[in-house]
Amino acid sequence: MKVKYFAWVRERIGKAEETIEPPADVRTVSELIAWLTAQGEGYAYAFEKPKVIRTAIDQTHVQPDTAISGAREIAFFPPMTGG
């Protein structure tokens, strides 16, 4: 699946997007965040406060317990500051 990162999540990980293949037991958004956290220092820094991170699946806001199965694009980002 395709993963996108925005704002300081993007800066800390050091890339704007990538394709990942998490193992089958990674079922929810929060499980995916935990798995990503273990992928390296930048990931650990980006996700150090997982409660702050917002997630969208296929461009729709979702919650930490939302299942990720079937997702084509998952995006992680800080709280939004538009307007």
Partner 1 sequence: MTAIVTVRVQHEDFDTAAEIAALGKGRTDIGAIVSFSGLCRGNDHETPISALTLEHYPGMAEAEIMRHAEQAMARWPLQGLTVIHRFGRITPGENIVLVVTASSHRQAAFEAAEFLMDYLKTNAPFWKREETEDGGSWVEAKSHDDAAAARWTK
- State how far the Cα of 44 lies from the Cα of 62, in Å rounded to an integer: 21
Q: What is the DSSP string of 58-79?
A: TTEEE-TT-B-TT-SEEEEEPP
**Of 15 and 61, which CB lies nearer to partner 1 in the complex structure?**
61
**Of 27 and 71, which CB lies nearer to partner 1 in the complex structure?**
71
The answer to the question of residue 81 lying near partner 1 (CB under 8 A) is: yes
- For 8, the token pair is 């300081």
List the interface residues with partner 1, window 48-77 (CB under 8 A): 56, 59-61, 75, 77
Q: Which residues bind partner 1 (CB under 8 A)?
A: 4, 6-8, 10, 56, 59-61, 75, 77-83
